[in-house]
Amino acid sequence: MGNKWHLSRRTMLQGLGTAIALPLLEVMDQPGLRAAVTTPRPRLAYLYIPNGVAAGAWQPEEVGSDGKLQQLNRWMEPLNPFRDQLTVFRNLWTPRGNGHAAGTATWLTGGGFDHEKLDAGGASVDQIAARHLRSQTLLPSLELSVRGEGMFSSSLPRNAVSWVDSKTPAPRDVEPRAVFDRMFRAGNSGLGSRSVLDLVLEDTRRLKRRVSDRDQKKVDEYLDSVRAIERRIEFAERNKSRADQNALLQRSLRRPEAGVPQDHGAYLRTLMDMIVMAFWADATRVCTCMMDHGQSNRYFNFIDGVTGTWHALSHWKDISGKTEDDDGKTSWSSREQKRGMYNLVTKWHTQQVAYLLDRLSRIEEQGNSLLDRSMIVYGSSLADGHEHSERDLPMLLAGGRAANIVQGRHRGGERATSMSDLHLALLQRLGVPVEQFGESRRPLPLT
């Protein structure tokens, strides 16, 4: 390989109607390109959960006198391995949004919600970032969501955290296959279900003959991840086909639409994998993921010891099973029992976020982990679900060291701080030239 040979950062493996973006390789770091590829490219993701958390279920177990996180509580325990890469916030609030509809719709806009006009008050932070970065990546942004369940699954404001403008929600992708195809398949190839890796095999071989052993290993690791996602999608489709042909399975399984895994954990982890692949390939640097819609009635009975729907559990002080939030079939013996179930659902979602952080932390990019180069916000638009409170929101920020974010902290004082201050700080770290977001003109200090 000649010393002057190099690859563009936007090189893709090509093959019969398919294109696969590549991760950052050493061969891309050549004289003349060095400054471009070694400059950290921050990514930004917002992970949303509805229904809040029980009071106290988000706050750390132990914090040092200097604000350093020393121990997370048992409901946040899955994130303990990443404690030094987290900021847990205190007293963040959304001054203009509250409730399941308004709170969800304005979580990322910093605006007020008008029910009559279906107005979220402005473009969301992710879409402002996407407009700034759109010329630099394959996709301006990804808007991911699980498929909703329950009576509010068709409510537009409860199903939108990402807004192109005040009245236009960004379309959501709920099927992993559709997201995968947007990133890794091009055109109408008519090649059916053939693996994208098979289609670009020859191009891959040519590339590997010309790069270093280290770059070969990076390419193999990256393509192994692509193959793993393909296998998950194929498995979900086989299971649906099997259920369609078996009357017993049809009666015993609640089958989602094609392409959505029946196992909810597998479904959500596949969406987490989509975020990893998108950021790794630099297919986009901006993503939102609704881990459920804004008033989820999903049953989490697959968690040992949990009965009833998520929304019902969030109203943990009502135990009769006869309120408007209940299913009319489930009741609880005490508030403590119901709150414990509510907390178990919180912990389950935290486990899924820990899975995402673990994957990002294991991918190296020019001396940093992909987690260091990603700013991951995780939280809800409600505080305690029973109170429908908008104060002291459950919110944390993971990663971002390459964007000069000092982590391992519990931040926030006695006075409430607008979440818009956080949005503004993250936009500026992405390089977006803004001095104001929502009502905020002062970015939240993160150093």
400 is a domain residue: yes
- The H-or-E segment that residue 399 falls in is strand 395-399
21 is a domain residue: yes
Is there a contact between 47 and 289 (Cβ–Cβ < 8 Å)? yes
Q: What is the pTM of this model?
A: 0.84
446 is a domain residue: yes
Cα dihedral 82, 225, 184, 398, rounded to 10, equals 0
Encode 99-126: b = buried (16+ Cβ within 10 Å), e = exposed. bbbbbbbbbbbbbbbeeeebbbbbbbbb
In sequence order, which residues have a C-beta less than 8 Å from that of residue 417 and are 6 or more positions away? Answer: 89, 91, 92, 93, 444
Same domain? 160 vs 308? yes
Strand residue runs (E) in 177-248? none
Q: Across-strand partners of 44?
A: 286, 375
Q: Which structural domain, as residue segments, surrounds residue 10?
A: 1-39+184-259
Same domain? 138 vs 246? no
Same domain? 35 vs 146? no
Same domain? 233 vs 297? no
DSSP per-residue letters across 266-326: HHHHHHHHHHHHHHHTTS-SEEEEESS-TT---B-TTSTT--SBHHHHHSTT--SS-STTS
Question: CATH number of the domain that 408 lies in?
Answer: 3.40.720.10
421 is a domain residue: yes
Q: What are phi and psi of 160, to 5 degrees?
A: -140, 115
Give the CA count within 13 Å in the CB-facing half-sphere of 56. Answer: 4
179 is a domain residue: no
Question: How buried is 324 (Cβ within 10 angstroms: 0-12 exposed, 13-18 middle, 19+ buried)?
Answer: exposed
Question: How buried is 308 (Cβ within 10 angstroms: 0-12 exposed, 13-18 middle, 19+ buried)?
Answer: buried
Same domain? 26 vs 54? no
Same domain? 411 vs 312? yes
Provide the residue-wise pLDDT of the chain in tens; the chain has 447 residues. 444 556 665 566 666 556 677 777 777 755 444 444 456 689 999 999 999 999 999 999 999 999 999 999 999 999 999 999 999 999 999 867 778 889 999 999 999 888 778 899 999 999 999 999 988 887 899 999 999 877 778 888 899 999 999 999 999 999 988 888 777 765 444 445 567 677 667 777 777 888 888 888 888 888 887 777 776 676 566 655 654 565 544 444 332 344 578 889 999 999 999 999 889 888 899 999 999 999 999 999 999 999 999 999 999 999 999 988 888 899 999 999 999 999 999 999 999 999 999 999 999 888 899 999 999 999 999 999 998 888 899 999 999 999 999 999 999 988 999 999 999 999 999 999 999 999 999 999 999
Same domain? 383 vs 306? yes
> Where does a domain end: 240, 259, 278?
259
Same domain? 141 vs 239? no
> Where does a domain end: 211, 232, 259?
259
Six-digit token string for 182: 């947007």
Q: Return the axis-axis angle of helices 213-244 and 176-184, rounded to nearest 10°.
A: 140
Same domain? 168 vs 188? no
Same domain? 119 vs 157? yes
Six-digit token string for 342: 């509510």
Quote the number of domains for the chain: 2
Same domain? 137 vs 243? no
Same domain? 319 vs 426? yes
Is there a contact between 229 and 180 (Cβ–Cβ < 8 Å)? yes
C-alpha of 420 from chain center: 19
> Where does a domain end: 231, 259, 287?
259
